[in-house]
Amino acid sequence: MLESRSPITVRYAETDMMGIVYHGNYLPWFEVGRTTLLKECGLPYKDLEAQGYRLPVIELGTKFFKPALYDDTVTVITRLKERPLLRIHLEYEVRRGEELLVTGFTTHAFINMTGEPVRPPAFFTETMRALFK
Amino acid sequence: MLESRSPITVRYAETDMMGIVYHGNYLPWFEVGRTTLLKECGLPYKDLEAQGYRLPVIELGTKFFKPALYDDTVTVITRLKERPLLRIHLEYEVRRGEELLVTGFTTHAFINMTGEPVRPPAFFTETMRALFK
Amino acid sequence: MLESRSPITVRYAETDMMGIVYHGNYLPWFEVGRTTLLKECGLPYKDLEAQGYRLPVIELGTKFFKPALYDDTVTVITRLKERPLLRIHLEYEVRRGEELLVTGFTTHAFINMTGEPVRPPAFFTETMRALFK
Amino acid sequence: MLESRSPITVRYAETDMMGIVYHGNYLPWFEVGRTTLLKECGLPYKDLEAQGYRLPVIELGTKFFKPALYDDTVTVITRLKERPLLRIHLEYEVRRGEELLVTGFTTHAFINMTGEPVRPPAFFTETMRALFK
C-alpha cells in the first residue's frame, strides 16, 4: 500500500454560512492528496498530462463525520491500496490531529487528449509494478 | 416521489484545464437542485435555517459518465423517493437534453444551531407526510 | 452603449462563514454577465475560443456596498460603454431589486491559443462597429 | 511596513479551460496571505472574529501579468504599508520565483456581528501601534 500525507490549512473561502467547510470543498483537498501521492511515486500528474494522458474522476464518495473549521490545519491521508491496472482507486481520510473528520474515495480512468479510454502508459505500469512488489 | 428540475448554464469558472467541468463543481449544482425541490415543497431551506435547523451533508456519492462543457445548459433533476424521517436522502441526475452526464446522491441529517442532531421540526414532518400521502 | 442583464440566485456554496457571499464569488457572476452580453451581441465567447481567440482578464476591480445573501435573486447588469479596439473594458453592477450591492469592472486582451497578444478577429471588429454605429 | 510570505501550490481545481488559474481564484490566495500576516502580527483573524469583529472586503483590485499554472508553487507576498486606523489596506504580489504574475490590493472595514461599522478593538490598535513604531 502506498500512502501520502498532505497538510492543508482551511481558507475562509472554503467555509459556508453554516460556519464550517462546504462539503464540496473537500474534493479539491482529495485532489491535493493524490497530486502529492503521485509525485511521491515519481509519477507527477503534470507529467502524465504532458505525455497525453488524463485521469478524470469517474466515481467518488464521501462521508462526513465532523466538520473542519476556518484556520484548522488538517491532514489529508491518501492511500493507494492495490496496484492500479486499468483504473486507479484512491482512498482518503481528512484528520485534525487524530480526530477523523471525513473519509472518501475517488476512482479514475485513463483517457487520451481526445477523451477516449486508453491503457495506462508503460512507464506508469512499470513504476506501479515496482512500488507494489 | 417528489421531483424537481433546475436548469444550469455552465460557467467558465466551473471548468478546469481538462476543458470540462471540474468534478467537485457538480456538488453546488446538486445543492441548487435540492434548494429548488425544498422550495417547491413549500419548505424553503432558508426558512428551515431561520427556524434554527440545518441540514448538513453526511454522505454523498457521484458517478461521472460524460462531461458537461462550458456554456452547456444542463438540467439537474432532483428526486426525493421516500418520505424522510430522521434523514433526507436525495438523488440527482445531470442531463444535457436527454443525455445522462452525471448521477449522484446526498444524505442529510437535521442538526440545531449548536451542531447537535435533532428531530426534524413538526412543520417539516407534516408537510412531507401530506406530500407523500 | 451595450447592456445586458443576468439573473442569478445565490448558492449556499457561494456564502462564507460571515453569512454572506464570499467577495471572490462575485467574479464568476461578472463572467456570467459578460457571457450573456457577448451572446446577445451575436458573438458567443464559446465561438471566439473555437476560432482560436481567448479573452483573459488583465485587470479587474470591485467595490462592495452591501452583501448578497443565500437564496437572494440578484441581477448582474453588464455594460460595454465604448467600442472595444484592442482591449475590452466591461462594467458591472450587482443589484437586488433596485438596491445596489456591488460594482466592478474587468479589462480583457485578445490572445491566441499559445498566449500571444493578437488583434481581435475581423468578425468581432465588424460586429462591434455595427453595434456602436 | 509589515510583510509576510505564503507559499501556495496551484490546485487543478483552481485552473480553468484556458489551462491557467481562473482569475477569481487569486482572491482566496490573497486571503491566505492576509491570514498569515495577521497571524504573524499576533492578531489571528480567527481571534478577531471570536471577539465579535469582522473584516469584510469593501474594495479590491487585481492586475494579471502572467498566469500561474497547475502544480506551480508560487509565493503570495502580503504588505501592510501603513498603520491601519479605521480601515486596513493590504497589497499583494504573487510571484513564481522572481517572476511577477499578479498584483492586487484589498481594503477592509471593521464591522460587528450585526454588520454595523465599528472602530477596531483596542488590542488591535495597540498591537499595530507597537508594530509600526
Mean pLDDT, each 10-residue run in order, chain B (133 residues): 97 97 98 98 96 97 98 98 96 98 98 95 96 94
- Chains with 3+ CB–CB pairs under 8 A to A are B, C, D
pLDDT of residue B67: 97
Contact A24 B23 (CB under 8 A): no
Whichever domain contains B116, its CATH number is: 3.10.129.10
Subunits with 3+ C-beta pairs closer than 8 A to B: A, C, D
The tens digit of pLDDT for each residue in A33-61 reads 999 999 999 999 999 999 999 999 999 99
The answer to whether D34 touches D69, Cβ cutoff 8 Å, is no
Q: Which domain holds residue B99?
A: 2-131
The rounded Cα D70 to chain-centroid distance in angstroms is 21
Let me know if B71 is a catalytic residue: no
Note whether B71 contacts C31, CB cutoff 8 Å.
no
List of chain B residues whose C-beta atoms are within 8 Å of the C-beta of residue C46: 70-71
The interface predicted TM-score of the complex, written ipTM, equals: 0.96
pLDDT at B55 (0 to 100) = 97
pLDDT given for residue D57 in this prediction: 98
The per-residue pLDDT for A91 is 98
Q: Do C23 and D63 touch (CB under 8 A)?
A: no
pLDDT (average), residues C14-34: 98
Cα dihedral A8, D27, C33, B49 sign = positive
> Quick one: what percent of chain C has pLDDT higher than 90?
99
> What's the pLDDT tens digit per position in C70-111?
999 999 999 999 999 999 999 999 999 999 999 999 999 999
The verdict on B66 touching A (C-beta cutoff 8 Å) is no
**Could you tell me if A122 lies within 8 Å of chain C, comparing CB atoms?**
no
Closest-CA residue of A relative to C12 is A16
Interface test with A, best of C16, C18, C25, C26 (most A CBs within 10 A): C16
| pTM of the full structure | 0.97
pLDDT attached to residue D71:
98
Nearest-Cα residue of chain B relative to residue A21: B56
For residue A19, the chain C residues in CB contact (below 8 A) are: 17
**Residue B24 touches chain D, beta carbons under 8 Å:** yes
How many angstroms away from the CA of D82 is the closest CA of chain B? Answer: 34
The mean per-residue pLDDT over the stretch D97-108 comes to: 98
CA B122 to chain centre: 22
Instruction: Please report the pLDDT score of residue B30 as a whole number.
Output: 98
Average pLDDT score, chain D: 97
Residues of A in contact with B28 (CB under 8 A): 24
Q: Are B63 and B1 in contact (CB under 8 A)?
A: no
Chosen from C20, C31, C36, C71 to mutate, greatest number of chain B CBs within 10 A: C71
Chain B hits for C45, Cβ within 8 Å: 12, 71
CB spacing of B17 vs D12 below 8 angstroms: yes
- pLDDT level of residue A85 (50, 70, 90 thresholds): very high
- A70 vs C15, C17, C19: nearest CB: C17
DSSP H or E segment with residue C78 = strand C73-80
The catalytic site residues of D sit at 16
- pLDDT score, position C123: 95
C115 in B contact zone (CB under 8 Å): no
Residue-wise pLDDT tens digits, C27-74: 999 999 999 999 999 999 999 999 999 999 999 999 999 999 999 999
* Mean pLDDT score of chain C: 97
Yes or no, beta carbons of D18 and C54 under 8 Å apart? yes
| Shortest Cα–Cα distance, D70 to chain B (Å) | 8
Check if B27 contacts D (Cβ < 8 Å): no
Q: Classify residue D102 by burial, with Cβ atoms within 10 Å: 0-12, 13-18, 19+.
A: buried
SS3 D128: helix
Long-range (24+ apart) CB contacts under 8 A made by D8-11 are D8/D32, D8/D73, D8/D74, D8/D75, D8/D76, D9/A32, D9/A35, D9/D71, D9/D72, D9/D73, D9/D74, D10/D68, D10/D69, D10/D70, D10/D71, D10/D72, D10/D73, D10/D74, D11/A28, D11/A31, D11/A32, D11/A35, D11/D70
Cα-based distances in Å from D123 to A71, C28, D129: 21, 37, 10
Nearest to B28 among C11, C31, C44 (CB): C11
Vertex B101: Cα angle to B96 and B106 (nearest 5): 115
Instruction: For chain D, say whether A11 makes contact (Cβ under 8 Å).
Output: yes
> Are C16 and A20 a contacting pair at CB < 8 A?
no
User: Whats the size of chain B, residue-wise?
Assistant: 133
Number of domains observed in the structure of chain D: 1
Q: Is D13 touching B (CB cutoff 8 A)? A: yes
